[in-house]
Amino acid sequence: MTQPLVLGIETSCDETAVGIVRGRTLLANVISSSVEEHARFGGVVPEVASRAHLEAMQPAINRALKESGINLKDLDAIAVTAGPGLVGALLVGVSAANGLALALNKPLYGVNHLASHVAVDLLTHEKDIRPTIALLVSGGHSSILQVNDITCDIQSLGQTVDDAAGEAFDKIARLLKLGFPGGPLIDKDARDGNEKAINFPRGLTQSKDMAEHEFDFSFSGLKTAVSRYLQATPDYVRADVSASFQEAVVDVLLQKSIKACKETGIDSLVIAGGVAANSRLRTVATERCASAGIELRTPPPALCTDNGAMVAALGSLAITSGRPASALGIETASSISPSIPIWV
């Protein structure tokens, strides 16, 4: 079967991203971020993000076509993130994708943002990821998924009950006056610190919590503990706080992910999403998975954050798996379960 040539559009938050793949080969991955426009607010402002998407969309598409050497008429399909995400931001991408699909008379695939984060792994590995446990960690999502088939069969085993891991990084970075976004800044600061300096709590890991929230996450208590520590310790060492906070997050994420592998009998773990670029998470995951006999797969850092390549990859997999295309005029969804990878 000819490998499908797919253009993917991602606008769920503050990145206007366009990717082009042929089958499982990445041809172009263009990202235009509006993060600097949000930095002064300490977080993403939906209206600002939507306007930035409008301004960046056409240039991003043109650049992706130029980098890949592809003409629009050569495409086999258009894929776009239809949810979850900021509704205004999603509408920009979905409108652009609908217009392209209609004008080119090409099939349209509306894909799930969460599933596409996992699907991007296939652009850098030859083996399929079926079945696998996936730890999805980003600014808005922290979930453990059982992926039986990335295009049609995904089960949610657990998720955050409050802040996502990425949100927790942003909030603690703000307390430490490091800036925004917090994840990369804390990761960098922690390299000069001692991760054992402060024993911060590991949320939902006590036996009474595990009975009800075996694979769920909670980072609100950790955030509060860090805040109280800073108030009680005026001469704190910032790098030690960063390292100890980061270690608490990493420890919980991997405790529960490896437990999910063992209890399901699945010996494969994919870590995806923006927080998957965290250097400490990658290091500790490598060590613990090796010790537990679990195959670990993580996309390269450039493909962990929101990007169009992951959307195109899931669209390509949907085609090769014989999944039906989405209807033109698909609706966006601010919140949607990963159990619906493709809109129909």
pLDDT (tens digit, 9 = 90+) per residue, 286-321? 999 999 999 999 999 999 999 999 999 999 999 999
As a whole number, the mean pLDDT across the chain is 95
- Quick one: 213 and 248 in the same domain? yes
pLDDT confidence of residue 302? 92
pLDDT confidence of residue 336? 86
Residue 129 has pLDDT above 80, yes or no: no
- Quick one: 216 and 272 in the same domain? yes
Q: How confident is the model at residue 1 (pLDDT cuts 50, 70, 90)?
A: low
- Asked if residue 110 lies in contact with residue 326, where contact means CB atoms within 8 angstroms, the answer is yes
Cross-sheet strand order for the sheet of 132-137: 153-159, 142-149, 132-137, 268-272, 295-297
Cα(141)–Cα(152) distance, rounded to whole angstroms? 20
Q: Is residue 272 helix, strand or coil?
A: strand
Residue 36 has pLDDT above 80, yes or no: no
Q: What is the pTM of this model?
A: 0.94
- Quick one: 109 and 247 in the same domain? no
Cα(133)–Cα(154) distance, rounded to whole angstroms? 10
Spell out the residues 6+ positions from residue 21 whose beta carbon is closer than 8 angstroms to its own.
5, 6, 8, 27, 123, 309, 312, 313, 316
- Quick one: 151 and 65 in the same domain? no
Q: What is the 3-state secondary structure (H, E, C) of 64-78?
A: HHHHHCCCHHHCCEE
Residue-number span of the structural domain to which 82 is assigned: 5-121+304-320
Where residue 91 sits, what CATH number does that domain have? 3.30.420.40
pLDDT (tens digit, 9 = 90+) per residue, 230-264? 999 999 999 999 999 999 999 999 999 999 999 99
- Give the residue from 15, 20, 87 showing the smallest Cα distance to 57: 15
Cα(256)–Cα(156) distance, rounded to whole angstroms? 13
